[in-house]
A and B are shown apart, each in its own frame.
Chain A
Amino acid sequence: EPEVTQTPSHQVTQMGQEVILRCVPISNHLYFYWYRQILGQKVEFLVSFYNNEISEKSEIFDDQFSVERPDGSNFTLKIRSTKLEDSAMYFCARRTSGSQTQYFGPGTRLLVL
């Protein structure tokens, strides 16, 4: 099954800056997820997005995070004021209706200095 693509592949930013990570589905999927993986740690769920609305979010997903699908195609994760501890790999995943399986993108490596 085709995956999603993510841009950028790498991003370096200064603490306090805003970053936008993008996920581009290959086809018109309805169910999207963001996960993050801090170096050496497990993959952690951030948020699920269905039909242009957040359907569930974790404790990690606080007010500095937001998601949207601005043009009906790209799916974005915005971090408003980055912190050092936001440095991680961020993965977008998609799921099709009728399937429980999530397929992951290649990730964006975010480094906050």
Chain B
Amino acid sequence: EDQVTQSPEALRLQEGESSSLNCSYTVSGLRGLFWYRQDPGKGPEFLFTLYSAGEEKEKERLKATLTKKESFLHITAPKPEDSATYLCAVQAGGGGSNYKLTFGKGTLLTVNP
């Protein structure tokens, strides 16, 4: 069974204080790892897709990296508007998976001004 564990569950930062969120996974053949941002009461908003170990993606203050067992979402000099829940999801390989996503519980990030 595919599993995704995110840590920490919650993280409080001061504006400008850089940090990283962790996503560790167990999957039978990784097809892709995804990061989403979710604001309260809203749907997940796509951020990044990572396909293989060593891959990195960047977008503004966010940078996602991938190893064979985990992914990190690095947040550089965060701003209050970066406050949200960040979700990690994996897509397993194999012919019958139909690209379904298995999500972690998320990390609630709060950035104080």
Contact = CB atoms under 8 A, between A and B. Distances in A.
A102 interface: yes
Interface residues of B, number: 25
A100 B46 CA distance: 12
A109 B44 CA distance: 14
A11 B46 CA distance: 25
Given A101-B34, A101-B49, A102-B101, A43 B44 contact: yes
A102 B89 CA distance: 11
A48 B102 CA distance: 13
Given A100-B32, A101-B34, A45 B43 contact: no
Interface in A89-113: 89, 91, 95, 100-107, 109
Contacts of B87: 43
Interface of B: 31-32, 34, 36, 41-46, 49, 87, 89, 91, 96-106
